[in-house]
Amino acid sequence: MPESLCFHHGQLIDGTGREPVPDGVVLTDTDGHITYAGPADGAPDAGDARRVDAAGGTILPGFIDCHVHVFASGRWEPLAVAMAKFDDYRHLEAAVRLRQTLLAGVTTVRDLGGTTPGMRRAVADGLIDGPRLLVSHGILSHTGGHVDWTFPNGQAVERSDYAISALNHIVDSPQEAVVATRQLVRSGVDVIKVCATGGMGSVSDDPDDQGLTVEEMRAIHAELGRYHGRRLPIAAHAQGRRGIHNALISGVRSIEHGYGIGEEECQLLIDSGAFLVPTLSTMVFDPEDQQRMPADYVRKKLGWIERGRENIANAIDQGASVALGTDAGAGPHGLNLRELGYLCDLGMTPHAAIQSGTRVGAELLELDDSIGTLEAGKLADVVVYDGDAIADIRGLGDAERISHVATSGRLVKDAGTYRPRVLSI
């Protein structure tokens, strides 16, 4: 249950872009909302609120990772091992990854392939601990495209640690794209994921290959406009330049990866109000994982690392709205905030990188009225880091240095100790 909390004695970075407050206070109520965030000398009496001493550290909004795959381990397990897993075991693995992510300071994630609305409900209902979840469930691709896990000999991988064919939709016409979209909307998804290009991990294509056509993506966009209320957004897996261009002129809300983005595409993104989610964590090789990766995947990745970083750096410099996303699942879970340092490597200031992982992410997800910044009235998603988040932003990537995590006013991590929710079912 939420409780009244008083985070105090720490530097406050509220995510809005305002300058850090050297001695900040955040107060929350039993409804799980923030009642005050600001300097200590203007704070109301905290009464009998539980005190969280952030002395020597930084009080921050809960972070948002806009691109994860909870059902993929990121460990590049042998295909035979992954395919042998029972579904209930895979669900329990996913629950552990969600908890790891939450304890690393990430209080909201958008899963772009593999996680169902059922897992979203399990978190919301408190059956398992994890970040607030938004899900795409499946992914739309064409025959031979990024998520068509059919090998040249016709053998299809229906399910494994990193192939989720059972959830994906292979579409080869605007009408098929519309039918798949209707099926996903019916299942209760939060976002539609499309493949506008090939990918590094694909069986049959490359990042520079185009994916769904403009006509197919525009048909999806038009279909989503038929529903009453909020139009579901489209997230486009888009790595090569031509596919990025196609996605942007088709009305997508976010470009995922975007390694080939050029100046023209960046301007299209800015003019349309779309977001770039660069997933720089995928460009970091773990030597052990590299040995287990398919040779073709390694070849593609090595060929893209430097030009991808250069293009993302140019997009940052041009003023693109960049939201933090890691593609966790293609890499390890629980290290999500290392992405902040990678953004700084490409020209972001630490303060801007923090906003990328808080306010900007909330804007992309259209949740900025309730999360993303520490302001009165918003949900009490609060993180305490044991260092100076401006001077030592890379330390945020070490989950051991995230001393406290609160989600909707419930303190789930207290001085590094996990506080599980206790339910009676």
Q: Is 266 in the same domain as 412?
A: no
In a domain, 291, yes or no: yes
Q: What CATH number is attached to the domain comprising 106?
A: 3.20.20.140
What is the domain extent for residue 407? 5-62+372-418
Boundary-marking domain end, from 283, 310, 336 = 336
163 in a structural domain: yes
For residues 24 and 72, membership in a common domain is answered with no
Task: Please spell the DSSP secondary structure of 410-424, one letter per residue.
Answer: EEEEETTEE------
If asked whether residues 34 and 149 sit together in one domain, one would say no
Q: Are 102 and 37 part of one and the same domain?
A: no
Task: Please give the structure tokens belonging to residue 12.
Answer: 């406050």
Give the Cα separation of 86 and 95 in Å (integer).
15
Q: What is the pLDDT of residue 36?
A: 98
Residue 75: its pLDDT value, please?
Answer: 75
Cβ contacts of 208 within 8 Å, gap of 6 or more: 197, 198, 239, 240, 241, 242, 260
Q: State which of 336, 356, 384 marks the end of a domain.
A: 336
Residue 380 and residue 293 share a domain: no
Instruction: Tell me the three-class secondary structure of 341-398, residue by residue.
Output: HHHHHCCCCHHHHHHHCCHHHHHHCCCCCCCCCCCCCCECCEEEECCCCCCCHHHHHC
Split into its structural domains, the chain has a count of 2
Domain edge (last residue) among 314, 336, 358:
336
Does residue 237 form part of some domain?
yes
Strand partners, 21: 12
Tokens of 242: 């031509």
Q: Give yes or no: residues 119 and 223 share one domain.
A: yes
In a domain, 140, yes or no: yes
* pLDDT score, position 422: 62
CA distance linking residue 129 with residue 109, whole number of Å: 13
The whole-number mean pLDDT for each consecutive block of 10 residues of the chain, a chain of 425 residues, reads 95 98 98 98 96 97 98 78 84 95 98 94 96 96 91 74 65 98 96 96 89 98 90 97 98 98 98 98 78 77 90 98 96 96 98 98 98 98 98 98 98 88 60
Report yes or no on 348 lying in a domain: no
Instruction: Indicate whether 180 and 276 sit together in one domain.
Output: yes
161 and 29, same structural domain? no
Is 367 inside any structural domain? no
d(CA 68, CA 52): 30
Please report which helix (H) or strand (E) contains residue 329, including its range.
Answer: none
Residue 244 lies in a domain: yes
> Is the four-CA dihedral 129, 378, 402, 71 of positive or negative sign?
positive
- Whether 263 is in a domain gets the answer yes
Of 406, 287, 261, 402, nearest to 340 by C-alpha is 402
pTM attached to this predicted model: 0.96
Is the domain of 222 the same as that of 123? yes
**Residues 90, 227 within the same domain:** yes
Query: Do the Cβ atoms of 147 and 186 come closer than 8 Å?
Result: no
Q: The tokens of 351 are what?
A: 């303060």
Please list the residues that pair with 238 across neighbouring strands.
257
What CATH number corresponds to the domain at position 390?
Answer: 2.30.40.10
- Which of 282, 280, 333 lies closest to 106, judged by CA? 333
Q: Residues 58, 68: one domain? A: no
Q: What share of the chain is helix, strand, coil (3-state, %, to 5)?
A: 35, 20, 45
CA distances, 185 to each of 169, 252, 391 (Å): 13, 16, 44
My answer on whether 304 and 204 are in the same domain is yes
Tally Cβ neighbours within 10 Å of residue 186: 8
